[in-house]
Amino acid sequence: MPSTLAQLYKQLSAPELKPVYLLAGEEHLLLLEAADALRTRAKQLGYSEREVLDADGSFDWSDLTMAAASMSLFATRRIIDLRLPGGRPGKEGSAALVAFCENPPPDTILLISCTQWSKQHEGTWVGAVERAGVFLPLWPLKPNELPDWIAQRMAHAGLKPDREAIAALAERIEGNLLAAVQEIDKLKLLHGSAPLDAATLEDLVADSARFDVFRLADAALAGDGARALRVLSGLRAEGEQVPGLMGWIVNQLQALARLAGAGNLSAALRSERIWPAREGIYRKALARADAAHWERCLAEASLIDKVSKGRESGDAWVLLERLIAGIAQPRSGFLSGLRAEG
């Protein structure tokens, strides 16, 4: 059966670790923290060598077989850190993973991390992982689970919030766990261990749920067009101007155009200095459209910038709404509609 976070952390306190771990899910903060905890514990137990393998579309699965068969240069324990973002190893990869699980090499841990996951990803190789080690799917927290998660994090940080303060923070961060962690860190510095009520929290915490251009871009890249347009509407209501929004949107479109044209996506993501926790939204966007689409989006973003500055005729807000919708849900004809409006 799949493990839970609590079971994983309990297992990590054991004197020996399992030979293989599969951590999978789109709740990237939880995945990163679980992987970090595993690597930290492994290091404490003498697993001092680490080899990272990026299993993208062009990955040669014989590299895993050779890594498993090779001896450590310094006769020490080691971790093979296998990054499988899409969670689908294919026929060859599945066979290689099953073979590893059925005959794991001594003094070696295989850590497999997947940033995209659903029930449909589970196959023969996942069953082999469960038999040999630990499979931990990390599903997004449900709204009713978020307050308890926040309460635990705040208590671990030494904070003493009341129930209303916890509810206020949950409302502000809108399910963004990374934002929650950042705000809890601020509260720890600003307030310490004194009792914390909702009114005090309101005074101390910046509004993490505030509509901003970063959330706008992330929602669009993730394919959530409805949310992206709500954020855009919120920005407009707050008095933001189109020219001030275009810089980051253009930055993200330029990155997508470069990534779409790259031969090795994993290497390109590293070259763009994109954090592992954010790789998923870029991969989702790239799966929806080709490089030509992102180049056209860039051209339309340039037009919108000119319109917003009075250099071209048109309604910049309407054009930007259509561009955001096209980023989230590419479809034929939306760009020609933009051009006609401009």
| pLDDT one digit per residue (tens) for the chain, 342 residues | 567 888 999 999 999 999 999 999 988 889 989 999 999 999 999 998 899 998 877 899 999 988 888 765 555 789 999 999 889 999 999 999 999 999 999 999 999 999 888 888 888 999 999 999 999 999 888 888 999 999 999 999 999 999 999 999 998 887 888 888 888 988 998 898 999 999 999 888 755 555 678 888 989 999 999 989 988 998 898 888 999 899 889 999 999 999 998 888 888 887 787 766 678 889 989 999 999 999 999 999 999 999 999 998 999 999 999 999 999 988 744 554 444 444
139 alpha-carbon distance from chain centroid = 12
Residues 34 and 76 in one domain: yes
Residues 90 and 172 in one domain: no
Residues 104 and 61 in one domain: yes
Burial 9-36 (b: 16+ CB within 10 A, else e): eebbeeeebbbbbbbbbbbbebbbbbbe
Gap between the Cα atoms of 259 and 286, Å rounded: 8
CATH of residue 253's domain is 1.20.272.10
- Report the candidate in 288, 226, 241, 302 with the shortest Cα–Cα distance to residue 260: 288
Domain end, chosen from 137, 163, 194, is at 137
CATH of residue 195's domain is 1.10.8.60
**DSSP-derived pairing of the beta strands 77-83 and 108-114:** parallel
Domain end, chosen from 112, 137, 162, is at 137
Residues 127 and 38 in one domain: yes
Domain end, chosen from 137, 154, 186, is at 137
* Domain that includes residue 197, residue range: 146-204
